[in-house]
Amino acid sequence: MINLKEKIAEVLQKELNFTEEFRISINEMQSMIEIPKDPKMGDYAFPCFGLSKQMKKAPQIIAQELKDRILEKQRNDIIEHIDVVGGYLNFVINKSIIINEVINEYEKNNDMFGSSNEGSGQNIIIDYSSPNIAKEFHIGHLRSTVIGGALYNIYKYLGYNCIGINHLGDWGTQFGKLIEGYKRWGTEYNIEKSPVEELTKIYVRISNACKEDEKILEQCRNNFKKLEDGDSYCLELWEKFRGLSIQEFEEIYKMLGIKFDSYNGEAFYINKMDEIVNMLENSGKLIQSEGAKIIDLEDKGMAPFMAIKSNGSTTYGTRDLAAILFRAKNYDYDKLLYVVSYEQILHFKQVFEVAKLLDMNEKYKNNLFHIPFGMVLLKTGKMSTREGNVIKLKDILDESIKRAYKVIEEKNSELENKEEIAKKIGIGAIIFNDLYNNRIKDEIFDWDIMLNFTGETGPYVQYTYVRTKAILEKAGYIPTAKNVNYEKICDELSIEIIKFLYSFNETVKNAAEKNEPSIISRYLINLAQAFSSFYNENRIIGEDKETQDSRLYITEMVGSVLKNGLKLLGIEVPEKM
Ligand code: ARG
């Protein structure tokens, strides 16, 4: 598709680059162009306020002069007309050009409409989900999983090569405790059946025992030491706990449609520590402090980074550094994203700062990004383990499916495959709710809101998709682009939809640039709402053949973009509901 914003930028650039000090690149120019909130103001707007000082003229005058010059010298088919409003220069694009672009692109590329290959040849690693072994997969990990999964799809749609890594929390002193607890009471717990739950019970019991008896704590520490030294009994148990936990996590991933390219977690780096420690030593910044080895970050305004503890064990942070090194060598990444709660902001700041000290290509050091997100709040407050009101994720997903099933029963009990459909709606509702607001905001978890079929929800978008399918089915055919008469798409609501469709690619790009899937969720709600108005105001079937074909074609395109957009978020659509 032609990039209309770029075309406008070119036109403006030609008029503005009249003196040396006024060299503005096309990219800069593009970033100065805005899309007016009110479509009546035009398709693009160029604010002249910023130029006022340099040009020593009022913004309105600059806008007026630009308009006159463009009309005089650069008349083209793309711009229908130009208006000066306040200090803005507003552009209205020729509608048939937009219609033509959208329809041709759709005809060529329908399944991948809005995709591009701007990322081709670039490797992006996304580190997401990353739960801790033998600990409950909680709703915070769900956010990481869902946001990370969406980013994976979004970047892929833009042609990037994505590598999804589940950096499991599968190492740490807690394993010393688990091994001790299992040794003592393993037979009392059926860890094969529900591993995470049973292991958690063992963990709580042994932790309490440790508090009462210093000797037990000593034994736990010993176990961890043995594990680190490669003791076969301890390793065997560790592997068992790990394997069973992963199996359980995978059930959730399957429900959510999430896949990883690697499950290399913290433990994977244990035998790769010497190299990273050597590099830290070589940096000359590693200092001894009370038996531990740390890196002072005071000049950066941060607490010191703990590299090696006084008992010789490595830390979460050092393992992250080893992972950076390994990922650089093995994946040659152009970007490495960590989708992890905002509670770890300091951790990543420290890790990224220390990574700068390593003897490694600049590219790897400068392209580490923490993608933080907010908490999930119940209507009644924070979900936390300590207060005992933590909700198991599997139960939440099951509950959502159950509730969706009930709604289907009420609305359309005749439907075939109700269970299948309830799964798509129930899970889709949870994912959409998770991705609807700006990720950094805390999310409110409220069943009534997220399963509402008419609100700003996943089910509403799915429902709109299903409606497009029903219309096409009723018509009994899907017209081709050749049947579309552009004259029949002139009404405001049709044009609004065409413009939405035109902006899909830009929306996906924007979501990638800001690592913000909510940009896509919001787009989908707007598109679905625009379609509902279109549908209410226009007879799709039953007008003259040309009008019907044109409207059916719009319907088909909207359905396809809703489906693709949801797919980017990791949500499937039912064909009926
Ligand atoms: N396992 C950690 C947690 O649950 C998250 C790990 C994130 N990834 C990383 N490379 N540090 O808090």
Q: Is the CB of 13 under 6 A from ligand 1?
A: no
In sequence order, which ranges of 213-231 are alpha helices (DSSP H)? 214-228
Query: Which of 489, 569, 465 shows the shortest CA–CA distance to 522?
Result: 569
Cβ(41)–Cβ(59) below 8 Å: no
Active site residue 81: no
Enumerate the H helices of 257-302 as residue ranges.
273-282
Whether 483 and 489 have beta carbons less than 8 Å apart is answered as no
Per-residue 3-state assignment (H helix, E strand, C coil) for 4-21 = HHHHHHHHHHHHHCCCHH
Rounded-to-integer distance, Cα 391 and Cα 138, Å = 7
Q: What is the pLDDT of residue 388?
A: 47
Mutate which of 125, 126, 127, 130 to test ligand 1's pocket (most atoms within 8 Å of Cβ)? 130
- Enclosing H/E stretch for 145: helix 139-157
167 is catalytic: no
CA 210 vs CA 116, 184, 204, 541: distances in Å: 57, 13, 10, 73
For 315, other C-beta atoms within 10 Å of its C-beta total 18
Using a 6 Å cutoff on CB, does residue 371 contact ligand 1?
Answer: no
Taking the CA of residue 135 as reference, the ligand 1 atom at the shortest distance is 4
**What is the residue with the minimal CA distance to atom 5 of ligand 1?**
130
Ligand 1 atom with the smallest distance to the CA of 141 is: 4
Q: What angle do CA 115, 465, 531 make, to 5 degrees?
A: 90
Contact 260, 164 (CB under 8 A): yes
Q: How would you classify residue 69: left for phi > 0, otherwise alpha for psi between -120 and 50, otherwise beta? A: alpha
- The rounded distance, in Å, linking the Cα atoms of 264 and 248 is 17
With 0-12 / 13-18 / 19 or more C-beta atoms within 10 angstroms meaning exposed / middle / buried, residue 464 is buried
| CA pair distance 102, 550, nearest whole angstrom | 13
Nearest CA to ligand 1 atom 8: 167
Where is 48: in which H helix or E strand?
none
* Residue recorded with tokens 């129930």: 426
Nearest Cα residue to atom 12 of ligand 1? 131
Task: Please state, in angstroms and rounded to a whole number, the distance separating the CA atoms of residues 338 and 167.
Answer: 10
DSSP E strands in 87-238: the ranges are 88-93, 123-127, 161-165
Options 7, 67, 141, 167, the catalytic residue: 141
- Output the CA 238–ligand 1 centroid distance in Å: 19
Report residue 187 as tokens: 């037979």
The secondary structure of 232-265 as a DSSP string is: HHHHHHHHHHHHHHHHHHHHHHHHHT---SB---
Which residue type occupies 184?
R
1 to each of 107, 113, 386, how far by Cα in Å? 12, 10, 54
d(CA 460, CA 109): 26
Residues of the chain with pLDDT under 50: 384-388
The residues, ordered by sequence, that sit 6+ positions from 250 with a Cβ below 8 Å of its Cβ are none
Shortest-distance atom of ligand 1 to CA 265:
10
**Pocket residue to mutate for ligand 1, from 165, 340, 373, most atoms within 8 A of Cβ:** 340
Q: Which atom of ligand 1 is nearest to the CA of 351?
A: 11
Does the C-beta of 338 come closer than 6 Å to ligand 1? Answer: yes
* Ligand 1 centroid from CA 345, angstroms: 12
Q: How far is the CA of 68 from the centre of ligand 1 (A)?
A: 58
Q: How many Å lie between the centroid of ligand 1 and the Cα of residue 240?
A: 21
Q: Are strands 123-127 and 161-165 parallel, antiparallel or unpaired?
A: parallel
Place of tokens 């229908």: 80
Dig out the tokens for 264 from the structure: 């290399």
Q: Is the CB of 228 under 6 A from ligand 1?
A: no
Sheet holding 376-378, edge to edge: 381-382, 376-378, 443-445
pLDDT in the model for residue 120? 97
Please work out whether the CB of residue 373 comes within 6 Å of at least one atom of ligand 1.
no
Position 21 scores a pLDDT of 65
Whether 141 is catalytic: yes
Q: Using CA positions, which residue lies closest to atom 6 of ligand 1?
A: 130
Give the pLDDT score at 387: 44
pLDDT confidence of residue 464: 98
Q: What local confidence, expressed as pLDDT, does residue 143 receive?
A: 95
Angle at 14 between CA 10 and CA 20, to 5 degrees: 125
pLDDT tens per residue across span 152-192: 999 999 999 999 999 999 998 899 999 999 999 999 999 99
Q: Phi/psi zone of residue 235: left (φ > 0), alpha (ψ -120 to 50 degrees), beta? A: alpha
Q: If you take atom 11 of ligand 1, which residue's CA is the nearest one? A: 320
Alpha carbons 458 and 521: distance in angstroms, whole number: 9
Positive/negative CA dihedral, 189, 194, 195, 199:
negative
> In a 3-state reduction of DSSP, which class is residue 42?
coil
Q: Which pLDDT score, from 0 to 100, does residue 386 have?
A: 44
Phi, psi of 204 (to 5 degrees): -65, -45
How close is the Cα of 269 to the center of ligand 1, in Å?
14
462, amino acid identity: Q
